[in-house]
Amino acid sequence: FLREGRDAVFTELFRRMDAGYVLESSDRECLHNLLDLDSDGRATRDLFRRSLKLWYPPLRGKTALIIVDLQNDFVTGSLKVGEGEQAIANTNALRKAFKFDLVAHTRDWHPKDHCSFWDNHEGAEMYSLKELTLPDGTVTDQVMWPRHCVQHSHGSQFHPRLDIEESDVVVSKGLRTEVDSYSGFFDNCKGSETMMRRIMFESGVTQVYVVGLALDFCVGWTSQDAASCGFESYLVSDCARAVHPEPDHKKLVADFAAKGVMVIDSSQVPVQRNFNGETAMKLARKLSLWRVELLATSRSQAQTPDGGPAKEPGGYNGKNCSD
């Protein structure tokens, strides 16, 4: 299946999706590079079809719910977020009201000597800011949090009222001692990546809905990284709660919109998609960049733990992917 044949397919796909969009030569080159998975200038029709489903929005179109950090320590424990149990109840109700194609849970999974714990820094005060040098050499003001979600502790386990199904995926974050990880996609300096982005892409997900705790930290960072990775990203506000709630909802919506995230409530799920040529090419460019990054990091990713119990023996057994 040579370039000429693929060119004809691209022209027809865009004609059907957005007749007013003119494919530039740079657009076509991006699409060729994206869909020629082995970079040999050729592709079997079967491989081309399978590759196309990873990109072409009307063919992708799957939904994912990312449930962020609904763990004991954030609901009733050392770092309790107000109305956390209500966030759980609303999240459970959302799952009953709409069938998502994929559900992924993130969890803080910290070592005992994690840099965010105030009692690991002599003289530090709880909730103060401490200047730390990150692994990439940049300096950041790290919040000195109470000790929370230490690996295998009671506080690190998912709250018992949270509905979890066998098909759910669990992505652990915050495993590195020297850097915090608010997002379910990357650590705070983007020096390491979880399996979240790869799981979403390989599952054909287009729309991501983010819920959980806390809206102004891990939920917010996760939703923004979902947008930066090329997904339609929606923060479902009634299924989330914040450490420091924003009293002005219009400001909250505007701040997230500026970063590519739409703030909605659960009654608006699912959001109707609006595909056009510009959206399709924006996604193609991000997927192409991700493919390059994936090839560059495939060796290290192959060594990433993937699979095993999400809880201690006797707990939920699902797919467990650590960063």
pLDDT tens readout for residues 71-106: 999 999 999 999 999 999 999 999 999 999 999 999
| 69 in active site | yes
Query: Which candidate, 271, 219, 229, 267, places its Cα nearest to that of 61?
Result: 271
Blockwise average pLDDT, block size 10, the chain, 323 residues: 76 86 90 72 68 64 94 98 97 97 98 97 95 90 97 98 97 96 95 93 90 97 94 96 90 94 96 80 79 56 35 40 61
Q: Which of 30, 115, 149, 218 is catalytic?
A: 218
Q: Is 130 annotated in the active site?
A: no
Q: Is 306 a catalytic residue?
A: no
- The pLDDT value recorded for residue 246 is 85
What the block records as the tokens of 253 is 């919506």
Q: Is the pTM of this model over 0.75?
A: yes
Catalytic residue among 30, 168, 173, 239: 173
Greatest C-alpha distance within the chain: 67
Classify 320 as helix, strand or coil.
Answer: strand
Determine the pLDDT at residue 163: 98
Q: How much is the pLDDT for 41?
A: 66
The span from the CA of 91 to the CA of 224, in Å, is 20
For residue 81, give both structure tokens.
């977020």
pLDDT at 81 (0 to 100): 97
Catalytic residue among 69, 108, 187, 323: 69
